[in-house]
Amino acid sequence: MKTDAKKYSNSITEFIKKYNTYLMLAVCLIICMVISPDFLTLTNLFNISRQYAALTVVSMGMLLVIATGGIDLSVGSYLACGSVLVAIFINSGLGLIPAILLDVALGLVCGTLSGVLVAKFKMPAFIVTMAMMTIIRGAAFILSNGSPIRTPSNTISQLGQNTVAHIIPLLLVLALVVVAIFAFVINRTSFGRIVLATGSNENCVRLSGIRVNYYLIAVYAISGLCATLGGVMAASRTGIGTPLYGEGLELDAIAACVIGGASLSGGTGSAVKTVVGVLVLALIGNIMNLLSVPSYPQDVIKGLIIIASVLLQIFTSSKKETA
Amino acid sequence: MGSEYLVEMENISKRFSGVKALDNMNFKLGKGEIHALIGENGAGKSTLMNILAGAFPSDEGTIKIDGKIRKISSPKVSRELGISVIHQELMLAPHLTVAENIFIDRLSSKGGVINWKKLKQDAKDILTKLGFGDIDPNARIMDLSVAYQQVVEICKSLSRNVKILVLDEPTAVLTFNEIQKLFVLLRNIRDQGMGVIYISHRLEEIFELCDKITVMKDGCYIGDYDTKNISKDELIEKMVGRELTTLFPKRNAEIGDIVLEVKNLNAGRMVKNISFNIRKGEVVGFSGLVGAGRTETMRAIFGADKIDSGTITYFGKEVVFKSPYEAVKNGIGFLPEDRKQQGILLDMPIRNNVTLTALKKVTKASVIRQKADKGLAESILKEVSAKYHALSDKVSSLSGGNQQKVALSKWLAADCKLMILDEPTRGVDVGAKSEIYKIINDLAESGIAVIMISSEMEEILNMSDRVYVMRRGSITGELPKEDLQDVNIMKLCVGE
Ligand SMILES: Nc1ncnc2c1ncn2[C@@H]1O[C@H](COP(=O)(O)OP(=O)(O)OP(=O)(O)O)[C@@H](O)[C@H]1O
Ligand SMILES: [Mg+2]
């Protein structure tokens, strides 16, 4: 009898361990639905999705970096600079698509630079990307003269307002496509497998005859690309590019990955769960908006909730202990 | 007054997510006794000791220490009861010094301030007392060889007030001299009335050192034996459950052209003027004491470390591999000695480990073909008869010996022409050892050149076609098959 009870409680903890990210989401969802009858309306849901599409894409890049055991603090700056540059390119007469491609390519190049510093010169990712954070944010201010850049209304803001099948926001579709690509890459390709392996034990991967540096450089490059694409998405919602976008965004992206079960020491990471992490953050924000909590207390509360949810994550997935 | 036993573990059972690791296991350790605990890879030895160490609780069973029933709920409780376990996998802080590691839990003396001078002196004293005075207390752990790291680990626990010392495969990384020193030390401890539990796959050692032997198999208790009253063959039979006819199977390989020729290789401090060659189908042993520079030599050839001077000719072409990538691309495999740090991805599934070197074979446009991936992993693991539950299990959930098989599997998947094996049977049980020897023979018979670094004399003597002996970074001699005798090797090792 006793062992039965034990087994039962064991299987419950196993369940919580396995699905804690989803449980967190469920709790947030329920709270939202209880607090506000407006929550479950399509308008509200699509609004949220527009608002968080950029973070989702940024988090995907971050996830790859974290999976290698690194970190990218510069994503918020990339987002700002990406929004500024895409606006500048459009205003200089470039077509929408070429403007976006050029913008994103620049993000890729800068990300590659961080990657080279981390992989080849063995600089700590924290330092490299922190320096990159101020450099790129500074560049965004220089390029924009410190003021928002408007774009003609029929260009990039089209992207933000357009819908698929008259109802689903294009930004949401774009974000979902990116997530699908990342989920595939992480789970099904040798690239994904090597990235995770590198995070687990870089030494072993190198001695297995794999050019670890290529992969390290690639993840920072991809993160730069994703964050810049995030900038394009942010600009598309308002039609404005500004160096003020994305302040503190790196923390949200990191939080989304960690809530999604990624370990900061590398070797783990799931694209889908990271999206759930983004959703948890989105719902926390939404709850507070629905309750009309003012903005500064919002930050405090959000910070606390992130700590709490990450703690929960750590406690329920405590696998490290045991010799 | 206590009982005559220091430790009594009765009816211990333990499951890991449904898999039974221990099943009604019994174990008793008497006072002033060196007691061997043996069994195949995955038999549950480390698990039993982990329970004693308080790493995790048993599901069922009782533990008595000194005759009193105790609940060992945490490592701290275990330590307070005077139990000290030296694990199979080392647990030192790599960036700290030797002295800091030895005294890690009592660094500060007065008011939280560290007296560095005293700390270092104390560490030096302990090391000298244990016969390892040549280890510098100021050296960082990461700069020491694995063997010396092991010694530090032992010193660390002996510097505490231990009554029961558990050594989980301590000699796997030590060489003859160091083993002898360790044995002197352990006998000393025994004569002071302490108890030693000794886990090893090297039966010669057990007969030399231990008073009693407990055999376990598949988590179950098989029996207790006096070392005096049992023979090695009987013991193997009890362990494996069948008779093991030959530990070293015969090899029938044709030795062909030269595959690798190294001339006057210099690299760093530990590789000085090394020249040797190896032919197709040949197994060349590298013997020497720990720190002789064997690993460093091979790492330099493999492109893991930089070469200062010298030439390497590989299949008739002069080459310098600038990275392991280039070496592997050219068909060289390298099984490192330090399994946990270099050989395997502990936190990754078994499958990801095995096919890591062969991803090209199982991918199409870099998309992994699940079936091919799974199939390759399964067939190779079968080849090395690795014991595992599911391919998706983490390697860390395997027993030490099976982890080694996974590390080896990775290179079998890679289709190498030259295989460098650094201590290939470390921590592997007799049955599996024989299997690994068989794999080495198969490799040689299929025309692969095999370099085998080994600190186990028997292995070197029985497996090698030729042996190079290294000492302090230089090759001190080459022994052809007919001169292979342990005295000859020993002489070259110590440089007489
Ligand atoms: N943390 C764990 N999770 C799941 N299974 C485990 C875990 N630890 C051990 N096992 C399983 O328990 C069994 C016993 O393992 P254990 O490490 O005790 O073997 P061992 O006798 O020490 O073997 P070796 O000689 O290879 O070190 C193995 O089948 C192993 O896979
Ligand atoms: Mg073990």
Instruction: List the one residue out of B422, B460, B467 whose CA is nearest residue B284.
Output: B467
A1 vs chain B: nearest CA distance in angstroms? 14
Q: Is residue B247 part of a domain?
A: no
For residue A217, the model assigns a pLDDT of 98
For residue B115, the model assigns a pLDDT of 82
More confident residue, A229 or B232: A229
b/e per residue B219-230 (b: at least 16 CB within 10 A): bbbbeebebeee
Q: Which of A14, A188, A322 sits opposite B368 (nearest CB)?
A: A188
- Alpha helices of A260-294 — where are they, by DSSP H? 271-290
Q: Which residue segment(s) compose the domain that B423 sits in?
A: 257-494
Report strand pairing: B220-226 vs B212-217. antiparallel
- Tell me which of B210, B242, B274 is where a domain ends: B242
Which residue of chain B comes nearest to A265, CA vs CA?
A: B347
Mean pLDDT of A238-247: 95
CA angle (B93 as vertex; A214, A203 as ends), nearest 5? 20
* Nearest Cα residue to atom 3 of ligand 1: B397
CA A215 to chain centre: 19
Candidate of B12, B25, B201, B397 to mutate for ligand 1, largest count of ligand atoms within 8 Å of Cβ:
B397
CA B340 to chain centre: 10
Q: Is B401 in the pocket of ligand 1 (CB under 6 A)?
A: yes
Q: Say if A205 is an interface residue toward chain B (CB within 8 Å).
A: yes
Q: Which of A190, A267, A323 sits opposite B55 (nearest CB)?
A: A323
Classified as helix, coil or strand, B468 is strand
* CB-based contacts of B460, cutoff 8 Å, min separation 6: B285, B287, B452, B454, B467, B484, B489
Classified as helix, coil or strand, B169 is coil
Could you count the other beta carbons within 10 Å of the beta carbon of residue B453? 24
Q: Which of A190, A267, A322 sits opposite B368 (nearest CB)?
A: A190
Indicate the Cα dihedral angle A121, A126, A129, A131, nearest 10°. -90
b/e per residue B278-300 (b: at least 16 CB within 10 A): bbbbbbbbbbbbbbbbbbbbbbb
pLDDT tens by residue, A128-167: 999 999 999 999 999 999 999 999 988 899 888 888 888 8
The yes-or-no verdict on residue A323 having pLDDT over 70 is no
Measured CA to CA, the distance from residue A260 to residue A273 in angstroms comes to: 4
Q: Can you give the CATH number for the domain in which B417 is found? A: 3.40.50.300
- Tell me which of B190, B211, B242 is where a domain ends: B242
Q: Which amino acid is at B195?
A: G
Q: Is residue B251 part of a domain?
A: no
Q: Is residue B249 part of a domain?
A: no
For residue B433, the model assigns a pLDDT of 87
Structure tokens at A305: 């909730």
Q: How far is the CA of A187 from the centre of ligand 1 (A)?
A: 28
B354 vs chain A: nearest CA distance in angstroms? 11
DSSP conformational letter for B341: I
CA angle (B193 as vertex; B190, B196 as ends), nearest 5? 45
Per-residue pLDDT of chain B in tens (496 residues, 90 and over written 9):
457 899 999 999 999 877 889 999 999 999 999 999 999 888 999 999 999 999 999 999 999 999 999 999 999 899 889 998 887 667 788 889 998 888 887 776 667 777 888 888 888 988 887 777 888 999 998 888 777 787 788 788 877 778 899 998 877 667 777 788 788 888 988 888 889 999 998 888 899 999 999 999 999 999 999 999 999 888 988 888 776 667 888 899 999 999 999 999 999 989 999 999 999 999 999 998 877 899 999 999 999 999 999 999 999 999 999 999 999 999 999 999 888 889 999 999 999 999 999 999 999 999 999 999 999 999 999 988 888 999 999 999 998 889 999 999 999 999 899 999 999 998 888 888 888 899 999 999 999 999 999 988 889 999 999 999 999 899 999 999 999 998 899 888 877 6
Give chain B positions within 8 Å (CB) of A201: 341-342, 344-347
Q: How far is the CA of B314 from the centre of ligand 1 (A)?
A: 41
Confidence of residue A1 (pLDDT cuts 50, 70, 90): very low
How do the domains of chain A map onto residue ranges? 38-246
Instruction: List the one residue out of B333, B338, B322 whose CA is nearest residue B410.
Output: B333
Could you count the other beta carbons within 10 Å of the beta carbon of residue A123? 15
> What was the ipTM of the complex prediction?
0.86
Q: How far is the CA of B342 from the centre of ligand 2 (A)?
A: 19
Instruction: List the one residue out of A220, A215, A216 whose CA is nearest residue A110.
Output: A220
Q: Is residue B208 part of a domain?
A: yes
Q: Say if B142 is an interface residue toward chain A (CB within 8 Å).
A: no
Instruction: List the one residue out of B262, B301, B250, B258 whose CA is nearest residue B280.
Output: B258
Measured CA to CA, the distance from residue B79 to residue B64 in angstroms comes to: 15
Query: What's chain A's average pLDDT?
Result: 90
Phi, psi (deg, nearest 5) at residue B268: 65, -160
CA atoms within 13 Å, Cβ hemisphere of A33: 7
Q: What is the pTM of this model?
A: 0.85
Q: Which of B91, B341, B345 sits opposite A197 (nearest CB)?
A: B345
The yes-or-no verdict on residue A223 having pLDDT over 90 is yes
**High-pLDDT (> 90) share of chain A, %:** 67
Structure tokens at B421: 């094996």
For residue A275, the model assigns a pLDDT of 96
Q: Please tell me whether residues B350 and B383 are part of one structural domain.
A: yes
Q: Is B404 in the pocket of ligand 1 (CB under 6 A)?
A: no
Q: Is residue B252 part of a domain?
A: no
- Alpha helices of chain A — where are they, by DSSP H? 2-35, 42-67, 75-91, 96-119, 125-144, 156-161, 170-188, 190-200, 202-207, 212-238, 249-259, 271-290, 295-316
- Tell me which of B209, B242, B275 is where a domain ends: B242
Measured CA to CA, the distance from residue B119 to residue B422 in angstroms comes to: 35
Measured CA to CA, the distance from residue B425 to residue B201 in angstroms comes to: 10
Residue with tokens 């497996």: B463
Measured CA to CA, the distance from residue B106 to residue B112 in angstroms comes to: 10
Q: How far is the CA of A320 from the centre of ligand 1 (A)?
A: 16
Could you count the other beta carbons within 10 Å of the beta carbon of residue B4? 12
Q: Please tell me whether residues B226 and B307 are part of one structural domain.
A: no
Confidence of residue A316 (pLDDT cuts 50, 70, 90): low
Could you count the other beta carbons within 10 Å of the beta carbon of residue B114? 13
Structure tokens at A108: 């890729």
* CB-based contacts of A106, cutoff 8 Å, min separation 6: A85, A228
Residue with tokens 């603090």: A73
Q: Please tell me whether residues B229 and B272 are part of one structural domain.
A: no
- Give B258-322 as a 3 state SS string: EEEEEEEEEECCCEEEEEEEEECCCEEEEEECCCCCHHHHHHHHHCCCCCCEEEEEECCEEECCC
For residue B188, the model assigns a pLDDT of 84
Measured CA to CA, the distance from residue B471 to residue A16 in angstroms comes to: 56
Measured CA to CA, the distance from residue B278 to residue B418 in angstroms comes to: 9
Q: Is B431 in the pocket of ligand 1 (CB under 6 A)?
A: no
The total number of structural domains in chain B stands at 2
Q: Please tell me whether residues B143 and B281 are part of one structural domain.
A: no
A8 vs chain B: nearest CA distance in angstroms? 13
- Give rounded-to-5 percent helix, strand, coil for chain B: 40, 30, 35
Q: Order of strands across the sheet with B332-335?
A: B332-335, B418-422, B449-453, B283-288, B466-471, B474-480
A204 vs chain B: nearest CA distance in angstroms? 4
More confident residue, A274 or A16: A274
Residue with tokens 């008779």: B243
Q: How far is the CA of B350 from the centre of ligand 1 (A)?
A: 14
Q: Say if A190 is an interface residue toward chain B (CB within 8 Å).
A: yes
What sign does the dihedral A231-A287-A312-A19 (CA atoms) show? negative
Instruction: List the one residue out of B453, B180, B405 whose CA is nearest residue B294.
Output: B453
Phi-psi group of B61: left, alpha or beta (phi > 0 → left; psi -120 to 50 → alpha; rest → beta)? left
For residue B385, the model assigns a pLDDT of 83
Residue with tokens 């199979």: B88
A30-44, A104-118, B41-55, B391-405: least confident range: A30-44
The yes-or-no verdict on residue A271 having pLDDT over 90 is yes
Structure tokens at B211: 């008073």
* CB-based contacts of B370, cutoff 8 Å, min separation 6: none
